[in-house]
Structure 1
Amino acid sequence: MKTCKSICFLYMLFFAFANYAQETPEVVIETQQLSNNVYMLTGQGGNIGVCVGDKAIFMIDDQYARLTPKILDAIKTLSDKPIQFLINTHWHGDHTGGNENLAKQGVKIIAQDNVYKRLSESTPETPKEALPIITFNDKLHIHINGEDVLVFHVDNAHTDGDALLYFPESNVLHTGDTFFNELYPYIDLDSGGSVNGYIEAVKKALILIDDDTKIIPGHGKLGNKKQYQFFLSMLEDLKTNVLAEIELGKTEDEVANNSNITKTYDDLGYSWAFINSEKIRRTFYKSLKQ
């Protein structure tokens, strides 16, 4: 039943983004240089990380399949070298949609074990070319383009297969969807995500970085440690508020309808098209009530 709910929910997500795309101007892939060889690409879907070097390119996430030509054109302005590796930070289609296109060009796909499991068991069936060919459990080191990239799994955060990547030489962190900068996060409970796991994931990442670290969030503009710390304080604040309501015996609908729980962040504009304040209150209730 949970698998069915998860699939239906993801379809709703994808259709929401598709409808949004039809109502907005043509997608433009924008490039932002973060260090000598690490870049952030934005377009539609999860933010992309790109690490270029003398011999190859390493890529993090790939948005939607229809955007692959534009993404490749943007990368070609950075380097004419081939893309050697792609890592998926988790299994959602706005981060893995281009997998098949890139794999057909010889790109090797890497992901956490649970990403492979969820993609391989999804309905409709994921093309075999779109599946990772290298998976890992807890952590992974990638030595490429003068970078010793630390890749680490965080348990039951946004999903059960989240990976974060830290480039110590460039001092750049890619959080995947464990950070929605200045937005309410999507915590996919049906894919193993949880409020407590999400909070622990952010704490784990904050240990690695300093005030000069540039952070590529899963969604939103380029971030820094101060913003990530504020994001953590928001999560902890909402957790405290919702737990207080649960202890008073409030129902899910009562919590979902109580705008005072999220007022501080509603006033800051954290609601967005897919995760509004009512939905984030409902998500916190469901996760913390378990």
Structure 2
Amino acid sequence: MKRVFCAALLGAVTFIPAASAQRDLSQVEIRTEHAGGQVYALFGAGGNIGVLKTDDGVILIDDQFAPLSDKIKAAVKAISDKPIRFLLNTHWHGDHTGGNENFGGMGVVIVAHDNVYRRLSTPQTFANADRNTKARPKAALPVITYNDELSFHVGETTHVVHVPHAHTDGDSVVFFTESNVVHMGDLLFVDRYPFIDLDSGGNLNGVIAGVKATLEITGPDTVFIGGHGPLAHRDRVEAYLRVLETARDRVQALIDAGKSKEEVIAARPMAEYDETWGSGFIKPDAFLAAVYQSLTSGAE
């Protein structure tokens, strides 16, 4: 069973910076979609990028992989001729921070949660996948970090909130208040089971809490940018939350009945969801293993 989970996790660890060196990204095109107001989403390879266009400059949310930086800059230039002033990393994974060194080197101010700085600046271990990452160079590191929340007052107010122990221990949710758009980073995998990075302090309960809190303070017309997948409206985020809560409740019932992780996975408690929600890079067995470990680890 451990081999099954490790194989799936190794696929998910394309998040780490070195992964871009193992992939041919030369044919990747950056696609731009208007999310709402002054906010745009960029889709390419890796995590979805948010772009806030203002007369005072651009705020960029995440930056995918280093080989794509020039294409990302060109896509931003097509949206606004103003400079990129700030780059916010929603968490530390390489498909969201891989271009940091390139953007930091051109004077963009990189901002992130305290734990993102800690993980980018030191070697990290994916114990479940038997894989390590090296510390990132100075130019790739955030120069401004925060603990609980912060706000940008560039064009419109952009409010950033830390969600503890969710996808990782350093997740940020970004609220573009006047544009009525939210970038949720990897708290949201649209229509798919999420990757929960247990090695980086992630936990299913934190993901559920973060998604629920985000829904509570957003309205019926809010547009959501997930870390992966298309733009979403509220109904798809609510469906995602229901799937996560269903997984939590069904796996907890099996744990309460004394079932082991292997027995939980064999029971296929999410069978009716697996064909659709398990069709991404996180397969049903890996998702159930992460749910089980979340519920038995004592972390919340």
TM over 0.5: yes
Q: Secondary structure at the match of 1:13?
A: helix
Extract unaligned runs of 5+ from structure 2.
1-5, 124-132
Tell me by how many angstroms 1:273 deviates. 4.8
1-structure distance, mates of 2:184, 2:285: 25
Does 2:125 correspond to 1:124? no
CA deviations on 1:176-233 (whole Å, 9 max, x unpaired) are 1000000100010110001111111111111121110010001001011111111111
Q: Secondary structure at the match of 1:34?
A: strand
1:160 to 169, 184, 188: 169
Does 2:13 correspond to 1:13? yes
Tell me by how many angstroms 1:242 deviates. 0.3
- Residues 286 and 182 from structure 1, CA distance in 2 versus in 1: closer, same or farther, beyond 3 angstroms? same
Query: Equivalent residues in 2 for 1:144-183 (5 A)?
Result: 144-145=154-155, 147-183=156-192
**TM-score, L = length of structure 2:** 0.88
Does 2:85 correspond to 1:84? yes
Extract unaligned runs of 5+ from structure 1.
1-5
Residue 3 of structure 1 aligns with which residue? none
Query: Equivalent residues in 2 for 1:85-104 (5 A)?
Result: 85-104=86-105
2-structure distance, mates of 1:144, 1:208: 22
Give the partner amino acid of 2:72: I
CA deviations on 1:41-100 (whole Å, 9 max, x unpaired) are 000111000011223111000000011011111111111111000000000000000000
Instruction: Judge conservation of contact 2:56–2:154 (CA < 8 Å) in 1.
Output: no
Q: Secondary structure at the match of 2:80?
A: coil
Instruction: Judge conservation of contact 1:139–1:150 (CA < 8 Å) in 2.
Output: yes
Residue 271 of structure 2 aligns with which residue? 263
Tell me by how many angstroms 1:264 deviates. 2.2
Residue 277 of structure 1 aligns with which residue? 284
2-structure distance, mates of 1:78, 1:189: 37
- Residues 79 and 59 from structure 1, CA distance in 2 versus in 1: closer, same or farther, beyond 3 angstroms? same
Q: Which has the higher contact order (CA 8 A, sep 6+)?
A: 2
Aligned residues between the structures: 279
- Residues 229 and 20 from structure 1, CA distance in 2 versus in 1: closer, same or farther, beyond 3 angstroms? farther
Q: Secondary structure at the match of 1:187?
A: coil
- Residues 33 and 20 from structure 1, CA distance in 2 versus in 1: closer, same or farther, beyond 3 angstroms? farther
RMSD, aligned CA: 2.1
Instruction: Judge conservation of contact 1:13–1:274 (CA < 8 Å) in 2.
Output: no
Give the partner amino acid of 1:270: W
1-structure distance, mates of 2:96, 2:208: 21
CA deviations on 1:91-143 (whole Å, 9 max, x unpaired) are 00000000000011110000000100111112412100000000000000111
Give the partner amino acid of 1:13: V
Residue 222 of structure 1 aligns with which residue? 231
- Residues 275 and 119 from structure 1, CA distance in 2 versus in 1: closer, same or farther, beyond 3 angstroms? same
2-structure distance, mates of 1:80, 1:44: 24
- Residues 225 and 20 from structure 1, CA distance in 2 versus in 1: closer, same or farther, beyond 3 angstroms? farther
Does 2:242 correspond to 1:241? no
Give the partner amino acid of 2:289: R
- Comparing 128-137 with 271-280, which one deviates more in the overlay? 271-280
Instruction: Judge conservation of contact 2:91–2:171 (CA < 8 Å) in 1.
Output: yes
1-structure distance, mates of 2:55, 2:21: 40
Tell me by how many angstroms 1:271 deviates. 1.5
